[in-house]
Structure 1
Amino acid sequence: MWLKILGSLLVIIASVSLGFMLAAQYAERPRQIRQIISCLAALKSHINYTAIPLPAALVQSTGGITGPVAELFQAMASLLADNGLTPQAALNQALKDSNKLVLHNPEREVLSVFSANLGGMNREEQHKSLDLAQEQLSRIQYEAERLCEQNVKMYRYLGICGGLAVVIVLV
């Protein structure tokens, strides 16, 4: 009897935690996109108004931001400074190495196209490229927030109800 109760509690706890972890990923994605947009805005000002190397501008653009997005930009800066990679290769390598980011393909593609143009143009063209990347990421952020509103509650309820359903079937 006690073994059944303990097993049931463990199944419910596992399913609820799984549901909440999936919901947290959907809630984290719009926040990370907002942080990337903020970093790109700071990078735009560093490119337009200061004459510092790109790795230093990338590190300074993460001021006030912590977490996976700041780590992405700092890893990109270190790859640019240490390995002499192109900005696009450095970003792609940093994206590959980062396992905490919950970015999907549209965001990764926008960042990849943006980084291909980074450092290879004059300031005005880079300013336009940064504006375009920010605009595209804003649209993606809107869509991610819409998906977040839909899916966060669903995954939480699904975790709870799924755990209860498994317990009822097993008992």
Structure 2
Amino acid sequence: MCKWLLIILDLTLPNIDGIEVCRLIRLRYETPIIISTQRAFLGDKIACFSYGADDFMAKPYDLQELILRIKAILKRCDHQIPDKNDTLNKKQIFRYDESKMEIYKNNDLVELTNAEYFILQYMIQKSGFVISRQELLSNVDSIKYESSYKSIDVLIGRVRSKIEENSKKPKYIISIRGVGYKLVNQ
């Protein structure tokens, strides 16, 4: 069985727009998505990244570049298909109650601002996977799109100070140098 999975998606599809397909995939799966299309409008790029695309390549492009981008995404994400039994048997450290906008660490309520709550909620949803700063900017509504990566780092630092025993040596929100962060939730 193949452990590596990645989707290369064209936006021009019969009967459905590729941007909608990207959105639907991301609602259910963590699979990396590379958009490969002739539609290179800024609005299309923004929509794709907003719905969780990992990369966007406008046609025509060099096949070698596509191969390198695939390798980089798979290496960065270390995207293996998880064993369902492993996931079910491990206790989650963090959980959230969306209706109350509350996050718990080992059943203890964590006091967070709105921005901190939404960042940590998104990270819980993606726990175990590498999340780029760009992905956080695109997918966390409480962060303004024009914010800088430095703003993300500051927010992550504030969240760490509230959930880590030692925020200088984090156990839960791990920095992935040059890429972003990963939440360890088991």
User: Same fold, TM exceeding 0.5?
Assistant: no
Larger proportion of strand: 2
Larger proportion of helix: 1
Answer 1 or 2: higher relative contact order, Cα 8 Å, separation at least 6.
1
Query: Which protein is bigger by CA-based radius of gyration?
Result: 1
Normalised TM-score (structure 2): 0.24
